Amino acid sequence: MNRREMIRAALAATLLVRPAAALAQDAAPHPLQPAWTAWKAAVMTPEGRIVDALQQGASHSESQGYGLLLAATLGDAAAFDAIDAWTMAHLAVRPDALLAWRWLPDAAAPVPDLNNASDGDLFYAWALVRAAVTLNRPELIPRATAIAGALAATCIVAHPDGSGRQVLTPAAAGFQRETGLVFNPAYLMPLALREVATATGVAALRICASDGLSILSDLASAGLMPDWIELRADGTAPAADLSDATGYDALRVPLFLIWSGDADHAAVTNQARADAAAQVAWGGAPTRMDRLTGRVLELSPDAGYAAIRRLTACAATPQQTGSFVPAFTTDQPYYPATLHLMTLLAQTETLPRCVPL
């Protein structure tokens, strides 16, 4: 390891000392260990594949990245190694360090599209950075650095408005149109961008995190977060053929902001107000809303969606102590179950006053 790599490894250790210390304290199990064990039993194969049963039984770079991040944070070396091995064998098929975005188990060509998904790559790099500390594997930092460098080279571009702000695009190809740049706000995870930038020295990711918060503020001035939006030189417009509702993508935005320590962002407070105004019984959580009016378009009984809504409500109420985030359950599909576990992790790491009651 050369001097630069040693410095980056030290920065990673400094950055992650809080979660790593929490894992190691008195050799006690992580408080989310029972939920993690249940999650693995529900959606992870022994080979390390994370299965999204509602999406043709597919696995995605996003699901593999989420699983790897959870394994790293909870210090589960066996799960980490299994997820990493499966992913490298099946999705690491591009000429760069990024992953193909989807694997289909029953297809003649299981990876029909070599395009990546930048959020999956980001979470994968973040997992490697965290595991360098929690699993005492500094040799993972060069892999994270390669992913970060490839993201910076292929998935970060200038905002069309000429402001110079840097935008994380959803993938290396397919989202830069003649009319503008297609943007998914939920692909922006500021904490992941910051931690990976610090550990790898790829400063473009830290700039992207800061500029991304500014872009989210622009969007929040007009309403709730959209699933997709087209950024243009003269403003924004709905992205053709993509949802601009506050739906299954956008509901991650408040979670990621809270997890990043940005609970006071307008995107969080706007969503909390919209949820309160909707006056929907908590037996079903809003999963799609009109981003301009807040009208509820769809509800779900799955606890993971309610978990995000209730943590958001607590985050937006500074005087509140305790939250009504529901207990983890696997009686829900892969996606809400994963969001549920990540919501509990975000609360544990960044919002202790909102401990579930």
Is 181 within 8 Å of 157 (Cβ atoms)? yes
* Residue where the block lists tokens 């301009």: 292
Is 297 within 8 Å of 245 (Cβ atoms)? yes
Cα angle value 48/54/60 (rounded, 5°): 40
d(CA 147, CA 289): 34
Burial call 51-84: b when 16+ CB within 10 Å, e when fewer: bbeeeeebbbbbbbbbbbbbbbbbbbeebbebbb
d(CA 143, CA 12): 14
> Which class for 221: exposed (0-12), middle (13-18), buried (19 or more C-beta within 10 A)?
exposed
For residue 292, give the amino acid letter: L
d(CA 274, CA 280): 10
Which residues neighbour 347 within 8 Å (Cβ) at sequence distance 6 or greater?
A: 258, 311, 323, 325, 354, 355, 356
Report the 10 Å Cβ neighbour count for 14: 11
DSSP 253-319: HHHHHHHTT-TTSHHHHHHHHHHHHHT--TTSEEEEE-TTT--EEEEE--HHHHHHHHHHHHHT-TT
Give the residue among 58, 42, 54, 52 at the shortest CA–CA distance from 330. 42
Q: Just list the catalytic residues.
A: 62, 119
* Residue where the block lists tokens 């989202």: 175
Is 170 within 8 Å of 59 (Cβ atoms)? no
